[in-house]
Amino acid sequence: MGGRSMAVKSNLTNMVLCLFTTCLVCGAILAGVYALTAAPIAETSAKILRASIGAVLPEEGELSEPQEASLAGQTYEYYTLKQDDEVVAYAVKSTVVGFGGPLTLMVGVTSDGVVYNTSVLAHSETPGLGAKCNTDEKFMAQWKGFDTTEKILSVKKDGGDVDAITASTITSRAYTQAVANAVALAASLKGADEADDADDQDDDDKDEGGEEND
Amino acid sequence: MEILLIIVSAIFVNNIVLAQFLGICPYLGVSNKLSTATGMSLAVCFVITLATLVTYLLNKYLLVAFGLEFLQTIAFILVIAALVQMVEIVLKKVSPSLYQALGIFLPLITTNCAVLGVAINVVTKEFTFGLPSHMLGLGEAVLYAFATSLGYGVAMVLFAGLREHLALCDVPKAFKGVPIALVTVGILAMAFMGFSGIA
Amino acid sequence: MLMTRMMMTKMKEEKKMTKFQLITKGLVKDNPTFVLLLGMCPTLATTTSAINGLSMGLATLFVLVLSNMVISAIAPVVPDKVHIPVYIVVIATFVTLLQLLMQAYVPDIYATLGLFIPLIVVNCIVLGRAEAFASKNSVLDSALDGIGVGIGFTVSLTVLGLVRELLGSLSAFGWKIPGTGDGMLAFVMAPGAFLCLGYLMVLFNKYIAKK
């Protein structure tokens, strides 16, 4: 070990000065690095989000910025996919309580109520059991093209058409619930869109009526 | 209902030591005797609750308000260190008997990752507790921190009780000390896994 | 500071170490995990697979080396009563730096290791080395010491992760052993972490650290 003598004797001035300088220098360095990495971080997280949305929606079309809507007391973040100025599908971020904690899905729903695909954004399910919702091919494949107008969105045990993961009924139920919430939101969004369109239609009718009166 | 869920979930289901692996060093270090384990648990309980309250306010009204979230780690650890020092000084003046009981554990708590872990968790993670997933409000955050630290106490006291008995057993030489303690915690953790899925 | 004191006594034996010994001592003689029992939280929490263990080890190595170097450089001018807070600020700076870099370039690993990256600040290994070694030695020696201890930590975490991955999911470094099923799931969950580390420590005591 060294012949270096240990530190300076403390007095109030050098203690305060030293702590202050350290904090200032460290803060400045971090601010600099933060400024440098801010752009790559934003880019990376945008890329991840884009990828998760892209996985659950058809490829063609124009993706909207994130929007928010609430249904039954819960607020959802969603994205719309437009083809020729017409909304053809929604991607809804849907969170429910799973077995081990929050289970967050990205659910793609087309405007005619068919689930296009789903993907897991975050989960804390039991490894090897509930966590299979993210890896089990059979479980994941059944969501592709799940037509909610023909099939019932609940697990087979509860009289629905969803094949549960073996030994993980609670996770499967939660997953199904998350999809159902997303489908319900998509339906209400579509309903709202159509109501808007209908309003426009009414306005047009009125205008036309006005013209006739003249 | 939500309050009950927070308490059950923090103490049993997501026990801070047995499921989240926070604060293991002091957990293994001072659980040899039941009395020291109780003292440490009380000190941790006190500091975690207080630190979470302070760091939550600091985060909301200073860091987030001025866009300085990247200073979170550094600010939190400084606040916790200062807080522990302050608690030590105040206790010494105000209640010497409590200081006698908790005093020796206080300096150890600064580097107990449970304190920083809980403080960071409540401001960065979304929780559910039977409601739609949301960031915790101040009241919930403090309650969660308090319940979590109770969970620390439960795990600590249980383990200290086991270890006092373990000390009387004749274990193989290679197992003596920490290895057998780890195996015991493993079995304890397995028992606590039975709570998962409740909340 | 109990830990620090423990390390101080360890350090007395290290007086006449060559540069080579500084780098290799972390592997067996002063292995941070199996001998010094430091940094248990990340050791248990992040070793669900060999790759996770390896990443956590490397993240700690990064902070350890840089903070050791800086602390060794500034130690002579830091008043003794505030040296701990100053060291903590330096360590926290490098941890935040690491957080920002990981978020930007390896977001997957950052998401997996999660909370345990900021918690490197309170990892007793880092502060312990700063206090026991870096504050009294030259910048070069402190860097080597950081590398040595960091490598020891990384190897331990990788081994523990590998064992848990093999037992728990019958795969190694993400490569699934063909034709196998699920493995003993308990080993990737919390109890398995404690049990595995306990038994590995027994093997270490019995066969490797034999005196």
Range scoring the smallest mean pLDDT among A205-214, B74-83, B113-122: A205-214
Q: Do A30 and B70 touch (CB under 8 A)?
A: yes
Residue A47: what pLDDT? 85
Pairing status of strand A146-147 against strand A86-97 = unpaired
- Each domain of chain A, given as residue ranges in start order, spans 57-203
CB proximity B65 to A under 8 Å? no
For the cut 50, the answer to whether the pLDDT of residue A206 exceeds it is no
For the cut 50, the answer to whether the pLDDT of residue B52 exceeds it is yes
CB proximity C11 to A under 8 Å? yes
Exposure of B3 in the CB half-sphere (CA atoms within 13 A): 3
Greater confidence (C60 vs C186) lies with C60
Residue A180: what pLDDT? 87
For the cut 90, the answer to whether the pLDDT of residue C65 exceeds it is yes
pLDDT digits (tens, 9 = 90+) for A144-186: 888 877 777 778 888 878 888 877 888 888 889 888 888 888 8
The chain C residues in contact with chain B (CB within 8 A) are 1-3, 37-41, 44-45, 84-85, 88-89, 92-93, 95-96, 99-100, 115, 118-119, 121-124, 127, 186, 189-195, 197-199, 201-203, 205-206
Residue A212: what pLDDT? 42
pLDDT digits (tens, 9 = 90+) for A7-39: 567 788 888 888 888 889 999 999 999 999 999
Cα separation, A109 vs A185, whole angstroms: 10
pLDDT digits (tens, 9 = 90+) for B156-194: 999 999 998 888 888 888 888 889 999 999 999 999 988
CB proximity C148 to A under 8 Å? no
Instruction: Find the closest chain A residue to B68 by CA distance.
Output: A31
pLDDT digits (tens, 9 = 90+) for A58-107: 877 777 777 888 787 778 888 888 888 788 888 888 888 888 778 888 88
Q: Do A26 and B70 touch (CB under 8 A)?
A: no
Residue B76: what pLDDT? 92
Residue B109: what pLDDT? 82
Give residue C107's pLDDT band: very low, low, confident or very high (50, 70, 90).
confident
> Which chains contact B through at least 3 pairs of Cβ atoms less than 8 Å apart?
A, C
Residue B186: what pLDDT? 93
Mean pLDDT of chain C: 85
Give residue A208's pLDDT band: very low, low, confident or very high (50, 70, 90).
very low
For the cut 80, the answer to whether the pLDDT of residue A121 exceeds it is yes
Q: What are phi and psi of A26, to 5 degrees?
A: -60, -45
For the cut 80, the answer to whether the pLDDT of residue B35 exceeds it is yes
Contacts of B77 in chain A (CB under 8 A): none
Residue among B71, B74, B197 whose CB faces A99 most closely? B197
pLDDT digits (tens, 9 = 90+) for C34-49: 888 888 888 998 898 8
Side chain identity at residue B189, one-letter code: A
Alpha helix positions (H), A55-110: none
Mean pLDDT of chain B: 86
Residue C35: what pLDDT? 83
Instruction: Find the closest chain A residue to C16 by CA distance.
Output: A1
Residue range C168-185: mean pLDDT, rounded: 82
Q: Do B128 and A95 touch (CB under 8 A)?
A: yes
Residue among B29, B77, B181 whose CB faces C88 most closely? B77
CB pairs under 8 A between A and C: 98
Instruction: Quote the ipTM score.
Output: 0.86
Q: Do B78 and C88 touch (CB under 8 A)?
A: yes
Give residue A209's pLDDT band: very low, low, confident or very high (50, 70, 90).
very low
Q: Do C86 and A19 touch (CB under 8 A)?
A: yes
Contacts of B197 in chain A (CB under 8 A): 99-100, 170
Phi-psi group of B197: left, alpha or beta (phi > 0 → left; psi -120 to 50 → alpha; rest → beta)? left
Contact in structure between A130 and A98 (CB atoms under 8 Å):
yes
Mean pLDDT of chain A: 79
For the cut 80, the answer to whether the pLDDT of residue A127 exceeds it is no
For the cut 90, the answer to whether the pLDDT of residue C63 exceeds it is yes
For the cut 50, the answer to whether the pLDDT of residue A205 exceeds it is no
CB proximity B127 to A under 8 Å? yes
Residue B127: what pLDDT? 77
Give the whole-number percent of chain C exceeding pLDDT 70: 91
Interacting residues of A13 by C-beta distance below 8 A, sequence separation 6+: none
For the cut 90, the answer to whether the pLDDT of residue C71 exceeds it is yes
Greater confidence (B122 vs A134) lies with B122
pLDDT digits (tens, 9 = 90+) for B5-28: 888 888 998 899 998 889 888 888
pLDDT digits (tens, 9 = 90+) for B106-152: 777 877 889 999 999 888 877 777 666 677 888 889 999 999 999 99
Q: Do A19 and C48 touch (CB under 8 A)?
A: no
Residue C209: what pLDDT? 63
Cα separation, A36 vs A40, whole angstroms: 8
* Residues A12-41: b if buried by 16+ CB within 10 A, e if exposed: eebbeebbeebbeebbeebeebbeebeeeb
Q: Measured between CA atoms, how close is C104 to chain A, in angstroms?
A: 4
Q: Do B132 and A27 touch (CB under 8 A)?
A: no
* Residues C160-193: b if buried by 16+ CB within 10 A, e if exposed: bbbbbbbbbbbbbeeeeeeeeeebebbbbbbbbb
